[in-house]
Each structure stands twice: as structure tokens, then as C-alpha cells.
Amino acid sequence: MNAVISTLDTSHAHVGMPTRRVIGAYLQEARSECLRYLRSPGFLIPTVMLPTVFYLMFGIVLGRANGADAPRYLLAAYGTFGVMAPGLFGFGLALALERDNGLMMLKRALPMPPGAYLLGKMAMAIVVAAVVSVLLLLMATLLAHVPLTASQMLTLFITDLFGVLPFCAMGLLLGTLIKGQGAPGVVNLIYLPMAFLSGLWVPLAMMPKILQQLAPIWPSYHLSQLALSAVGLGQGIAWPHVATLLAYTVGFVMLAAHRLRRHG
């Protein structure tokens, strides 16, 4: 992450600024990013509505017909689906557009601390992921009557919150590779197939053998396995999935840093 942050640094970014002002600048950038996206219905409504509407239809209305564990399984699956979007679209789509319209160049010229831009977007993605996770948990417990303990709900919420980070890193890399005009289509071409191939819409056990074997290459698969463990449906141990997600995050950030250093 420091390598990416350094690409946004300037020689006068925060020279001589008191620590309180530096912290205030980070907080102000995070606040402005959150407000900007929360006031953007074109981003916020689809991001929040898609996983909640899907869970309402398939996890609540049709869930019981597919077995007693279906609402619980789909809570984990659509939670993963829901937290992918803020990272991929909030970083990937936004960065591509902001590189095209010159906002990135303006940000570099501003006397702001290095990294405030990226950490602001990360804060926005985490806030939106928290909203999606809370809505799904409320629907699961109040409408689907999924029997979850307080510990399970908290574990799933934390998993969703930190699970957005690998997709922020992936979105950051995508934003350095694609142009703003074609960004929505490209991001969707990655987002939707990745969700399907990770077993978020259809359980992997019902998919062809080859797709089951390829599922672990997707970060969404590993996040969904952690989410399933959080609600009591997981199998095996969690640390390999955590390690894989961490490796994806670091790898995507390093590649994005290299792209930003070379191409801006």
C-alpha cells in the first residue's frame, strides 16, 4: 500500500504540518469520499439493493423450499456478493474515471497527506459494506428467522467488513488498466462471472466438476468460505482462506503501484 500511496505524494504534501492537521486531512478526505458516494444514487442504490433483493427473493421467499439451511447459506453468499461491489466499483470504476478527467492529477497537486485519497476510498467501501451486511443480517434474523447467535452475527459482520479489502485492491488494479468510458462494462464482466463461479448464486456442489476445481482461483470463493464458517456451515480451517485473501490484496496493490508509477 505504501508504494501506491507514494505515487500520490508531492514534494509539499504535508511538509511541516502538525500531526493533528495531518490526521484531520485524512479524516476530511474520508468524510468527503463517503458523502460523495452516499449522495450518488447511481452507485449506492444498485450496490445496496442487488444483494438485498436477491436475498429477499431466493433466501426468504424461495429459501425454505430449497432446505432449512438455504437462507443461512444464501446469507453468507449474498453477503460476499454485496461487499465485492464497493471495492470493485468504488475503486475500479472511480479511479478509471478520475484518471481520465484529470482529478488524479489535481489530487497530486493538492497539499494533502500521501495516501488520503486511497484511504478515503477504502473508508467509503467499508462503510457501504457495513450497510449491506447489516441489512442482510436484519433480513435473515427478522424475516427468514435464521437462528444465529450474537457471536455468529458479529463474526459474519467483521468478515464482510474486512472482506471488502481484497476487492478494493482488485478494483485499484483495474482502475489503472482500463479507460473510464469502458470501465462499467469491464468491471461488470469481472464482477458477475466471478460471483457465479465462486458459488455465490448456485452452490458449487451443483456445478460441473471443472468449475468446482477452478473455484479456488477467485478471491470471492475464499471470502465466501469464511462467511459460511461464520454462520456455521463452513468446512475445514479458516487460515488458508485468510492467507489467500491477504496474498491477493498485497499482489493486486503491488501491481497497481507499478502501473501508477509508470502510467499515472
Output the average pLDDT for the chain. 83
Stretch 62-77: mean pLDDT, rounded? 82
Domain segments of the chain as ranges: 2-263
- What is the pTM for the complete model shown? 0.83
Q: What is the mean pLDDT of residues 167-188?
A: 84
Cβ atoms of residues 110 and 32 within 8 Å: no
Rounded to whole angstroms, how far apart are CA atoms 27 and 34?
11
Proportion of the chain above pLDDT 90, given as a percent: 43
Distance CA 19, CA 159 (A): 32
What is the percent of the chain with per-residue pLDDT over 70, rounded to a whole number?
A: 83
Q: Which residue has the higher pLDDT, 155 or 237?
A: 155
Picking from 62, 105, 82, 96, the residue whose alpha carbon sits closest to that of residue 183 is: 96
21 has a pLDDT exceeding 80? no
Please say if the pLDDT value at position 262 is more than 80: no
What is the per-residue pLDDT for 197? 94
> Residue 130: how many CB atoms within 10 A of its CB?
16
Please report, to the nearest 10 degrees, the dihedral formed by the alpha carbons of residues 238, 170, 158, 35 taken in order: 180
pLDDT of residue 166: 94
- List Cβ neighbours of 85 (8 Å cut-off, separation of 6 or more): 46, 47, 50, 128, 191
Model confidence at 203, pLDDT cuts 50, 70, 90, reads: confident
Give Cα separations from 6 to 14, 120, 150, 250, 264 (angstroms): 13, 15, 41, 16, 11
Q: What is the pLDDT of residues 208-218, one digit of tens each?
A: 999 999 999 99
In order, the DSSP letters of 150-196 are HHHHHHHHHHHHHHHHHHHHHHHHHHHHS-TTTHHHHHHHHHHHHHH
Condensed to tens digits (0 to 9), the pLDDT of residues 138-150 reads 999 999 999 999 9
Q: Name the pLDDT band for 264 (thresholds 50, 70, 90).
A: low
Q: Give the pLDDT confidence score for residue 18 in this predicted structure.
A: 72
pLDDT at 159: 96
Per-residue pLDDT at 17: 63
- Give 34-57 pLDDT, tens digit per residue: 777 777 777 778 888 999 999 999
> How far, in Å, CA of 212 to CA of 199, rounded?
9
Please give the pLDDT value at position 13.
43
Q: What is the pLDDT of residue 237?
A: 85
Q: Is the pLDDT of residue 101 over 70?
A: no
State the Cα–Cα distance between residues 197 and 186, nearest whole angstrom.
17
- What is the reported pLDDT for 103? 62
